[in-house]
Amino acid sequence: MTGIFRTATMPLHNLLDKASGKGDSGASILIPDLQRPYVWSPSQVVLLVDSVLRGWTFGTFLLWKMKPKNTLVGVPHRPFWREIDRLDNDDNAQKVSKATPPDEAFMTLDGQQRIQSLLLAFAFDDFCFKMADSDWFKDRPDAPVKRYNSKRWCRGSLCLNTKSIMSEYTSGGNRIANIDFSKVLEWVIVDSQDGCSENRTADLPLPRLDHGENDKLFVRLSKLWNITDINATEEQDHRDRLQKEFPDWTEELRNCMGAVMAKLCSVKRGEVAYLELQPFEGAGLSEDVYNDAIVNIFTRLNTGGRVLTREEITFAWLKTGWDSHKTDGVKADKCFRNVQGNLKDQGIDIGIDELVRSVSYIWAVCFNDGNVLYPTTPIVFLF
Give the model confidence (pLDDT) of 151-162 as tens digits. Answer: 899 999 999 999
What confidence category does residue 144 fall into, taking pLDDT thresholds of 50, 70 and 90? low
Tell me: pLDDT of 1 over 50. no
**pLDDT tens string 355-376:** 888 888 887 788 777 766 543 3
279-322 pLDDT tens trace = 766 666 776 777 677 767 766 666 555 556 667 667 766 776 67
- Residue 23 pLDDT: 66
Residues with Cβ within 8 Å of 99's Cβ and at least 6 positions away in sequence, in order, are none
- In the chain, the percentage of residues whose pLDDT exceeds 70 is 78
Q: Where residue 102 falls among pLDDT bands split at 50, 70, 90?
A: low
Closest to 108 in 3D by CA, of 188, 31, 184, 175: 31
Q: Are 153 and 134 in contact (CB under 8 A)?
A: no
pLDDT at residue 80, as a whole number: 94
Residue 201's pLDDT is 83
Give the sign of the dihedral formed by CA 320, CA 322, CA 325, CA 329. negative
Give the mean model confidence (pLDDT) for residues 14-22: 92
Confidence at residue 223, expressed as pLDDT on a 0 to 100 scale = 96
